A = this chain, B = another copy of it.
């Protein structure tokens, strides 16, 4: 048991060292980096896709796409911006080494914003800082209002929580009050913004908060 813990601590502290290196590189080039985390199907690619639509005339954007397979890369490449695949080869989260390798494929002096799409998973990605400036956790209405309660570690690490798919509200099984209360208990400093990628509701606030 003690050996396991030591190994785990070493892996995590090595990850944190690399995360610091990433942050230094990003800051040297004044790049804002955002780490998007969510359940599978929560809407990471759709949110990033919508933000690129809204921002691409004003900001030079790149995406690091962490995935066990390569589908979302093709969706995002349509914007003709750099999209680097960080294929985790089955691993359930990105780590700093994967991000560092992906960064080496980008020309940092040509960028203002870096979106990092993590693997769809509400458990593991929270434990691996990637040198990014903000953690954006996306929850979605059909997943239910208990997600902050059930995955406290993920929501504790969030700077911003985007509640996606609000176009399906009202819903018999989702109470905005319960969701907000659960989040407030776990992480009172997180900013909650309800959004819909379908109607684009809420995206003005997201852009305002992150890029103004």
Contact = CB atoms under 8 A, between A and B. Distances in A.
Contacts of A39: 39-41, 120, 143
Interface of A: 39-42, 67-69, 71-72, 90-92, 119-124, 140, 142-144, 146-147, 149-153, 165, 168, 172, 198
A124 B122 contact: no
Given A121-B123, A124-B124, 10 more contacts: A39-B39, A41-B147, A67-B150, A68-B152, A69-B150, A69-B152, A90-B153, A120-B122, A123-B124, A140-B142
Contacts of A150: 40, 67-69, 71-72, 120
In the complex this chain forms, how many copies of it are found? 2
Given A120-B150, A121-B123, A153-B90, A40 B71 contact: no
A122 B88 CA distance: 14
A142 B120 contact: no
Contact of A40 (B68, B90, B143): B143
Contacts of A67: 150
Contacts of A168: 142, 168
A177 B200 CA distance: 27
A121 B90 CA distance: 13
Give the residue among A40, A123, A151 with the most B Cβ atoms within 10 A: A40
A143 B90 CA distance: 20
A7 to B, nearest CB: 8
A168 B142 CA distance: 10
In the A-B complex, list the 7 residue pairs whose CB atoms are closest, starting with the nearest.
A41-B143, A142-B142, A92-B123, A39-B40, A40-B122, A39-B39, A41-B144
A72 B40 CA distance: 20
Contact of A165 (B119, B142, B146, B172): B142
A67 B121 CA distance: 14
Contact of A90 (B90, B123, B172): B123
